[in-house]
Chains A and B, each alone.
Chain A
Amino acid sequence: MAKLNINGKVVEVDVEEDTPLLWVIREHVGLTGTKYGCGVAQCGACTVHLDGVATRSCALPLSAVTEENRIVTIEGLGAETPHPVQQVWAELDVAQCGYCQVGMIMAASSLLAQNPSPSDDDIRAEITNICRCGTYPRVLAGVKLAAERMTNRG
């Protein structure tokens, strides 16, 4: 039995330790907001926060994570009120099909936590998630607007 700290709760899972964290989260913990897109750390659909840092959970085996690591999934992001990134995403109607958007939001919120006022080039370099629908222009605008909101507020 392995213990994981997900969204502030400790959960116990009985899973082979080479199982990627993505599948533990989706199938054993039952949180399906985190998506499978490629399984090889290419697309970012599976992005979660591991101790506050955006991490592609499909490429991280369960054995690499302990109860000490704080895992936050989309279900735990902004648990009280929506995170500013989610708020802005709704305002700008960023999502198309939405499948990649959870990963985008997790990547964007992590970026803003580390770099509260990213330049366009920072955003372009840091958000490497794939969106096949092509929401990139609104993702860029969304990160910038969220940054503005968060800095003004803080």
Chain B
Amino acid sequence: MTMQQRTNSPSRTGRLSRRGFLAGAGAAAGAFSFGFSFPLPVRAVAQAAVKEVNAWVVIQPDDTVIIRIARAEMGQGSLTGLAQLVAEELECDWDKVRFELVEPGENRRRDRVWRDQSTGGSRAIRGSQEYVRMGGAAARSMLVQAAAQGWGVPAGQCTVAKGVITHQASGRSTTYGAVAEVANGIAPPTGITLKDPKDWTIAGQPAKRLDTLDKLDGSLVYGMDIAMPGMLVAIPKACPVHGGKLKSFDAAAVSGMRGVKHVLRVDDETVAVVADTFWRAKTALDALPIEWDNGPNANVSSETIAEMLREGLSAETEYVGNRAGDAKGALARSSRVIEADYGFPYQNHAPMEVINATVLWTPERCEMWGPTQVAEAALTALATAAGLPVENCEVHVKRIGGSFGRRLTTEYVTMATLIAKQVPGTPVKMMWTREEDMVQGRYHPVTQCRLRGSLDADGNLDALHMRISGQSIMAYMRPSIMTANGDPVTFQGLMPDGAEMAIGYTIPNLLIDHAMRNPHIRPGAWRGVNLNQNAVYLECFIDEMAQAANVDPLVFRRKLMANHPKHLAVLEAAAKGIGWETTKPPEGVHRGLAQVMGFGSYVAAAAEVSVSAGRLKIHRIVAATDPGYVVNPQQVEAQIAGSFVYGLSAMLYGECTVKDGRIEQENFDTYNVMRLDEMPVVEVITVPSGGFWGGVGEPTIAVAAPAVLNAVFAATGKRVRNLPLKNIDLGTS
């Protein structure tokens, strides 16, 4: 569908709004109508559409403001934040704002007027805030100009409030909706000055999400829910040993089963059953005799991977991420050296919506409907697999049922296209089972870390060597950004300086280096990326050093943080919030701290836990965040609470193990995640200090585990150095 067509059905029109706010209308129709998404020819209704003011803003005659959103929405809420930023500069009525999602083919046809559509690294807002605000400001200026021209007065004499343009002197006023059509023909202004965030009235406010109502009545059509006339469902199965091959399969054994239409070889490693429904396809796939060639990794196990990484802990390496003084020399000379080895396992993203994509291929044209975090890359993958010029292809992006980095790759788009290409003219919805999603993920990389630290005569940390051994995400995902020595993303949170991922401590003799060891399991960018394990390693070990020095962990950190005031400020805020130096925790409750910088933001957490009879209870976590600016405080709060759930799930349960070359966990019964009963009370403190734009979706995840693990130590005297906690007996100390 074209943008114009979708403009006619903007957001906030879920069944709830119709039913709830227009008393009882159309209930019966609502109950049995469901979302169709037809593959209509592009531009079919373009003529009937309202002209946009500019690429970011469409205003309908009734003053409804439609703001175009180019970044993916997967629950993180940046859709609403981005709309707030546009609306702030536009000075429209926020209650009249709706949204629509930009499609990558349209972006391409318009010379990337919406720029980068990829959504990762907590960059949706910070990576586009400036030009989306410019878009809103330009539209405002054009709308005012349009009104002023009509009245024959200078635009400078007109004012705007909530989408109403007024010329005070002549007592005239009009609305954005009335002049939008004319504004479309006005040249965009040059030399825009954006508002100072301290003057914001829409941005910076705790606005509710724009995309809520259709999530509450079941009317939101996710990729999984797409239905089209004549559509078939495909379920693929790839060789469970990554890199292995599909040798053969016996299609005849299942082709007579009810509903089964095709049994197809998709690529070198994948077979798929195409049927009229999911359940029939799955039943046939489960019955399909398949022979795999598991390849050279058939004997790899978690133990052999651990062995491979352990070797890297003491290997020679040249890849240094951070160096000051002479750490090795200082450690060799010191008589107070503490050493510890840590480890962090593979984990699956496990978003609630599994991998899916619906593709319609014809010899002339190919379209996809479904979730992606990288719409433009998905379009390229679609066109390539379709064997068609990219101009003849389009990706219709859907709001996503969770993603957490999983859909930054496009292999599933390719797969769905290769399937649909074998069923020309028929829309095919490729759906993975949860089991396939679990064993064919793009996993949080596996790493180990050896830390050696020494204390000087005054009990200060005077040397630290941190050796990370393990998997590089980028070597697999984006080899083009690898340097000659290694993966620059490895050192997130540990870099000497910079606005993105800098360490918060000054240690006179410091060496942080990496020995890359890449097992065959495919890694990916898992919410928080490498910050997760790096924060566990550093923040738990700093606690170990504080304990060795017999100094309070907050006091010990403060001494190392004098040159890192922003890191320190969030740590102090979290410590103050939990009452670190002011109140005693309740009987049997113990506290832990952690801080880190990542994705441009400074974050810290303070946790209160108790352990009784080996059972851990996390009572309370206080989070402090400095993201520079806060565009929507209540969405930030939701992201931070969500980050704790994600990070604590990982700490408590998250582990994918490998046996016979394959991932063992196939569903939530063996890959458990946190539920409501384990949720601590979360308190969120934001301390935006301004002057920079940091991300919010990811950094807090990284402090969840170390703050709790440090509290677990305080409670039990046990250092948990290998996650997840489910494998550790906290009962005997």
Task: Give chain A's interface residues, CB within 8 Å of chain B.
Answer: 7, 9, 16, 19-20, 23, 26-28, 30-40, 42-43, 45, 73-77, 79-82, 86-87, 89-90, 93, 95-102, 105, 123-125, 127-140
Q: Is B676 in contact with A139, judged by CB distance below 8 angstroms?
A: yes
Q: List 27 A-B contacts (CB under 8 A).
A: A16-B279, A26-B278, A27-B233, A27-B278, A32-B221, A82-B16, A93-B208, A93-B209, A95-B209, A95-B212, A96-B638, A97-B402, A99-B75, A99-B352, A100-B352, A105-B216, A124-B677, A124-B679, A128-B676, A132-B351, A132-B352, A133-B642, A135-B638, A136-B641, A136-B675, A137-B681, A138-B641
Assembled-state Cα–Cα distance A93/B16 (Å): 14
Assembled-state Cα–Cα distance A100/B676 (Å): 13
Assembled-state Cα–Cα distance A19/B642 (Å): 34
Assembled-state Cα–Cα distance A79/B31 (Å): 7
Report B669-684 CB contacts with A as 1/0, cut-off 8 Å. Answer: 1000111110101100
Q: Does B634 contact A (CB under 8 A)?
A: yes
Determine, out of B447-455, B479-487, B589-597, B643-651, the stretch whose residues face the partner at the interface.
B643-651
Additional pairs, 10, CB under 8 Å, beyond known A32-B225, A96-B77, A101-B216: A19-B279, A20-B279, A75-B34, A81-B23, A90-B16, A93-B638, A99-B75, A99-B353, A127-B676, A137-B641
Assembled-state Cα–Cα distance A136/B400 (Å): 19
Distance (whole angstroms) from the CB of A96 to the closest CB of chain B: 4
With A90-B212, A93-B209, A135-B638 known as contacts, the answer to whether A9 contacts B352 (CB < 8 A) is: no
* Cβ-defined partner of B677 (8 Å) among A16, A36, A128, A132: A128
Using C-beta atoms within 8 Å of the partner chain, give the interface range for chain B: 35 or more
The 9 closest A-B pairs by CB, nearest first: A33-B218, A97-B75, A134-B645, A98-B215, A99-B401, A134-B642, A96-B75, A74-B218, A32-B225
* Cβ-defined partner of A133 (8 Å) among B221, B278, B402: B402
Q: Does B27 contact A (CB under 8 A)?
A: yes
**Closest chain A residue to B221 by CB distance?**
A32
Q: Is B16 in contact with A86, judged by CB distance below 8 angstroms?
A: yes
Q: Is A81 in contact with B258, judged by CB distance below 8 angstroms?
A: no
What residues of A have a CB within 8 angstroms of the CB of B233 in the complex? 27
Assembled-state Cα–Cα distance A20/B277 (Å): 12
Distance (whole angstroms) from the CB of A5 to the closest CB of chain B: 13
Q: Is B638 in contact with A45, judged by CB distance below 8 angstroms?
A: no
Question: Which of B215, B280, B399, B643 counts the most chain A CB atoms within 10 A?
Answer: B215
With A97-B400, A127-B676, A137-B679 known as contacts, the answer to whether A80 contacts B227 (CB < 8 A) is: no
Assembled-state Cα–Cα distance A7/B29 (Å): 12
What residues of A have a CB within 8 angstroms of the CB of B219 in the complex? 33, 75
Q: Is A35 in contact with B224, judged by CB distance below 8 angstroms?
A: yes
Distance (whole angstroms) from the CB of A42 to the closest CB of chain B: 4
What residues of B have a CB within 8 angstroms of the CB of A43 in the complex? 352, 668
Question: Which of A87, A96, A138 counts the most chain B CB atoms within 10 A?
Answer: A96
* Cβ-defined partner of B676 (8 Å) among A77, A82, A87, A136: A136
Secondary structure at the A interface, as helix, strand, loop or mixed, is: loop
What residues of B have a CB within 8 angstroms of the CB of A23 in the complex? 277-279
Among residues 180 to 220 in chain B, which have CB atoms less than 8 Å away from a CB atom of chain A?
A: 208-209, 211-213, 215-220
**Closest chain B residue to A130 by CB distance?**
B673
Assembled-state Cα–Cα distance A81/B726 (Å): 44
Assembled-state Cα–Cα distance A130/B681 (Å): 18
Q: Does B667 contact A (CB under 8 A)?
A: yes
Assembled-state Cα–Cα distance A7/B218 (Å): 14
Q: Is A30 in contact with B227, judged by CB distance below 8 angstroms?
A: yes
Distance (whole angstroms) from the CB of B632 to the closest CB of chain A: 10
What residues of B have a CB within 8 angstroms of the CB of A134 in the complex? 641-646, 674
**Closest chain A residue to B36 by CB distance?**
A30
With A37-B434, A82-B20, A98-B401 known as contacts, the answer to whether A136 contacts B258 (CB < 8 A) is: no
Distance (whole angstroms) from the CB of B410 to the closest CB of chain A: 20
What residues of B have a CB within 8 angstroms of the CB of A133 in the complex? 75, 352, 402, 642, 645
What residues of A have a CB within 8 angstroms of the CB of B638 in the complex? 93, 96, 135, 138
Report B221-233 CB contacts with A as 1/0, cut-off 8 Å. Answer: 1101101000001
What residues of B have a CB within 8 angstroms of the CB of A98 in the complex? 75, 211-212, 215-216, 220, 399, 401
Q: Does B404 contact A (CB under 8 A)?
A: yes
Q: Is B32 in contact with A81, judged by CB distance below 8 angstroms?
A: no
Assembled-state Cα–Cα distance A85/B24 (Å): 17
Q: Does B614 contact A (CB under 8 A)?
A: no
Q: Does B74 contact A (CB under 8 A)?
A: yes
Among residues 416 to 456 in chain B, which have CB atoms less than 8 Å away from a CB atom of chain A?
A: 433-434
Q: Is A31 in contact with B32, judged by CB distance below 8 angstroms?
A: yes
Assembled-state Cα–Cα distance A77/B19 (Å): 12
Total A-B residue pairs with C-beta atoms closer than 8 Å?
A: 212
What residues of A have a CB within 8 angstroms of the CB of B27 in the complex? 79-80
What residues of B have a CB within 8 angstroms of the CB of A19 in the complex? 279
Distance (whole angstroms) from the CB of B7 to the closest CB of chain A: 22
Distance (whole angstroms) from the CB of B432 to the closest CB of chain A: 10
What residues of A have a CB within 8 angstroms of the CB of B433 in the complex? 39
**Closest chain B residue to A30 by CB distance?**
B34
Q: Is B352 in contact with A37, judged by CB distance below 8 angstroms?
A: yes
Q: Is A101 in contact with B221, judged by CB distance below 8 angstroms?
A: no
Among residues 315 to 350 in chain B, which have CB atoms less than 8 Å away from a CB atom of chain A?
A: 350
Assembled-state Cα–Cα distance A104/B121 (Å): 29
Among residues 621 to 660 in chain B, which have CB atoms less than 8 Å away from a CB atom of chain A?
A: 634, 638, 641-646, 649
What residues of A have a CB within 8 angstroms of the CB of B350 in the complex? 132
With A27-B278, A38-B668, A97-B74 known as contacts, the answer to whether A123 contacts B31 (CB < 8 A) is: no
* Cβ-defined partner of B32 (8 Å) among A16, A75, A123, A139: A75
* Cβ-defined partner of A73 (8 Å) among B30, B218, B682: B218
Q: Does B35 contact A (CB under 8 A)?
A: yes
Among residues 382 to 406 in chain B, which have CB atoms less than 8 Å away from a CB atom of chain A?
A: 399-404
Q: Does B76 contact A (CB under 8 A)?
A: yes
Q: Does B354 contact A (CB under 8 A)?
A: yes
What residues of B have a CB within 8 angstroms of the CB of A105 in the complex? 216
Q: Is B218 in contact with A32, judged by CB distance below 8 angstroms?
A: yes
With A90-B213, A140-B676 known as contacts, the answer to whether A42 contacts B645 (CB < 8 A) is: no
Q: Is B218 in contact with A34, judged by CB distance below 8 angstroms?
A: yes
What residues of B have a CB within 8 angstroms of the CB of A131 in the complex? 352, 645
Distance (whole angstroms) from the CB of A30 to the closest CB of chain B: 5
With A42-B667, A93-B634 known as contacts, the answer to whether A74 contacts B642 (CB < 8 A) is: no
Among residues 67 to 118 in chain B, which have CB atoms less than 8 Å away from a CB atom of chain A?
A: 74-77
Assembled-state Cα–Cα distance A19/B433 (Å): 15
**Closest chain A residue to B73 by CB distance?**
A97
Distance (whole angstroms) from the CB of A94 to the closest CB of chain B: 8
Among residues 12 to 34 in chain B, which have CB atoms less than 8 Å away from a CB atom of chain A?
A: 15-16, 19-20, 23-24, 27-28, 30-32, 34
**Closest chain B residue to A45 by CB distance?**
B352
**Closest chain A residue to B278 by CB distance?**
A23
Distance (whole angstroms) from the CB of A25 to the closest CB of chain B: 11
Q: Is A38 in contact with B216, judged by CB distance below 8 angstroms?
A: no
Assembled-state Cα–Cα distance A136/B649 (Å): 13
What residues of A have a CB within 8 angstroms of the CB of B643 in the complex? 134
Distance (whole angstroms) from the CB of B528 to the closest CB of chain A: 13
Assembled-state Cα–Cα distance A38/B433 (Å): 8
Assembled-state Cα–Cα distance A130/B74 (Å): 16
Question: Which of A79, A95, A132 counts the most chain B CB atoms within 10 A?
Answer: A132
**Closest chain A residue to B666 by CB distance?**
A40
Q: Is A36 in contact with B75, judged by CB distance below 8 angstroms?
A: no
**Closest chain A residue to B257 by CB distance?**
A16
Distance (whole angstroms) from the CB of A34 to the closest CB of chain B: 7
Q: Is A97 in contact with B353, judged by CB distance below 8 angstroms?
A: yes
Q: Is A89 in contact with B31, judged by CB distance below 8 angstroms?
A: no
Distance (whole angstroms) from the CB of A33 to the closest CB of chain B: 2
What residues of A have a CB within 8 angstroms of the CB of B676 in the complex? 123-124, 127-129, 136, 139-140
